[in-house]
Amino acid sequence: MLPSVGSQDSHPRTSPKSCCGRSMGPRSHHFSLGFSVSSLGLLFLFSLFPECLGAEGKLAHKLFRDLFANYTSALRPVADTDQALNVTLEVTLSQIIDMDERNQVLTLYLWIRQEWTDAYLRWDPDAYGGLDAIRIPSSLVWRPDIVLYNKADAQPPASASTNVVLRHDGAVRWDAPAITRSSCRVDVSAFPFDAQRCGLTFGSWTHGGHQLDVRPRGTAASLADFVENVEWRVLGMPARRRVLTYGCCSEPYPDVTFTLLLRRRAAAYVCNLLLPCVLISLLAPLAFHLPADSGEKVSLGVTVLLALTVFQLLLAESMPPAESVPLIGPPSAPPTASSAASRTETLHTPEEGTPISVSQPIASGAFFIWTSPS
């Protein structure tokens, strides 16, 4: 038997209280009605202006075909071959990856920005619907052969496959990340309170100053996005432009040198190296004040000598090799000499065989003066 027309169960799908097992009140109906009106409004607008959705893409394709119809990336993009092309170089220091003091190699993560003007990549924005800039692969345009002169890597330089921003007036901007390994002369004579100066020199490898002129943007590299290093504190990275003439060529070659100023964070070295050295230095002269016939004098001296030996091994592993003696090296020499002299004095006996200790005040005072800071 068919249900009656006036029954509530005759149309269960249209009942406002039976949608997916959840109750739908007046607020749910208003929300659905508002969402439907918004969707219909967007569809109505898109139906009125369908040509606006793909106009920019079509104009960009047309502009790309017009620009690169007769373009070549093999030649320098200047209208006059006697005119030098100006390249602006900007470097942003992102991270200090490693400072290899033993091999004197500095590894950095940089963001390098190069800007120049291409005389053959210009257009009128009004002819292309107001399109004033496009982004294209960097391999399609001419790029300056700017390399890192003091590169300390066996791998050949590789250009990052990033896009360039091309503007309607011919201005080209190329942003590329780079991990550089450069040679840096490390001076550890003041270790662990040393400061280092590491230069990164950028310049063209084949173009002289009459063909390509390199200039820095600003007076220093940017440190806005720098990630702090646990061992080194960055004091700055000033930029300097130079023009040099090499023996191979007669024309001058301009370059830009960014000098990274570093200072070592010495807190860990003070706690792990300097404080043990000072404590051992204070224990070594005490052996002179013990009587010669006391067995504790020999035990104290041997213990101090073993501690100094272990300290020297740890110091040799942590310090990089250097031509000059580091600042932390000389303070460990007087305690070692004091301990050795104390053992020699205790073991020295006269003909009767009784151990003696001579010149204790003089030797102790001399070693205290030697170990005290000037």
| Residue 150 and residue 202 in contact, taking contact as beta carbons nearer than 8 Å | no
pTM above 0.85, yes or no: no
Q: 138: Cβ–Cβ under 8 A, 6 or more apart, which residues? A: 159, 160, 161, 162, 163, 164, 174, 176
Structure tokens at 74: 């093999």
Cα separation, 310 vs 106, in Å, equals: 30
Q: Which two tokens stand for residue 27?
A: 């607020």
Higher pLDDT among residues 336 and 313, named by residue: 313
Distance of CA 370 to the CA centre of its chain: 42
Query: Which of these, 92, 99, 53, 10, lies nearest to 258 by C-alpha position?
Result: 92
Among 66, 79, 64, 174, residue whose Cα is nearest residue 120: 79
User: Which residue, chain included where needed, has tokens 């003066």?
Assistant: 369
| Residue pLDDT, tens place only, 140-199 | 999 999 999 999 987 766 556 899 999 999 999 999 999 999 999 988 888 888 999 999
b/e map of 11-47 (b: 16 or more CB within 10 Å)? eeeeeeeeeeeeeeeeeeeeeeeeeeeeeeeeeeeee
Q: Quick check: 133 and 166 in contact, CB under 8 A?
A: yes
In the block, which residue shows the tokens 């040679």? 183
Confidence bin at 271 (pLDDT 50/70/90): confident
> Cα–Cα distance between 317 and 319 in angstroms, integer?
6
The pLDDT confidence band at residue 219, using thresholds 50, 70 and 90, is very high
pLDDT tens column, 36-67: 544 555 444 444 444 444 556 789 999 999 99
pLDDT tens sequence across 293-323: 666 777 777 787 788 778 777 777 767 676 6
CA 321 distance to own-chain centroid = 24
